[in-house]
């Protein structure tokens, strides 16, 4: 035991939990009539590669991904399709973090 949460709880925290908290309708569960956002992954291979210094790294272990019913990842390879859109939470400030730091680098005045 590495002190990790159970797989079922991890999946809940990535699906129904944020959909409920952000009040996103018809997402977060596999139900008839809901948008088909599905990730097929190998739990033995899942590993986050992103770091603070290099945040734009793909995680490993993702096999297939569907967004709005459109496949965007097949056998771990991105297909170039972009059927979704970014969901911004209450901390979003139009390109700047709530603290004033730019999302693109630098400090409060960067950008």
Report how far apart, in Å, the C-alpha atoms of 48 and of each of 7, 54, 81, 90, 101 are.
15, 12, 22, 25, 24
d(CA 40, CA 27): 17
* pTM of the predicted model over 0.75: no
Structure tokens belonging to residue 60:
């490993």
Confidence tier at 96 by pLDDT (50, 70, 90):
low
Is pLDDT at 110 greater than 90 in this prediction?
A: no
pLDDT of residue 4: 84
CB-based contact 98:105 (threshold 8 Å): no
Write the pLDDT tens digit of every residue in 5-57: 898 998 999 899 989 998 889 999 999 999 989 999 999 998 989 999 999 88
pLDDT of residue 104: 42
């Amino acid at each position: 035991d590495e002190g990790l949460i159970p797989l079922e709880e991890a999946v809940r925290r990535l699906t129904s939990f944020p959909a409920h908290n952000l009040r996103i309708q018809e997402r977060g569960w596999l139900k008839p009539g809901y948008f088909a956002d599905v990730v097929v992954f190998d739990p033995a291979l899942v590993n986050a590669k992103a770091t603070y210094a290099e945040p734009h790294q793909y995680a490993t272990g993702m096999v297939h991904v569907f967004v709005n019913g459109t496949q965007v990842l097949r056998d771990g390879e991105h297909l170039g399709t972009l059927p979704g859109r970014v969901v911004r939470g209450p901390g979003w400030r139009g390109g700047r973090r709530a603290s004033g730091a730019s999302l693109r680098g630098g400090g409060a005045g960067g950008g």
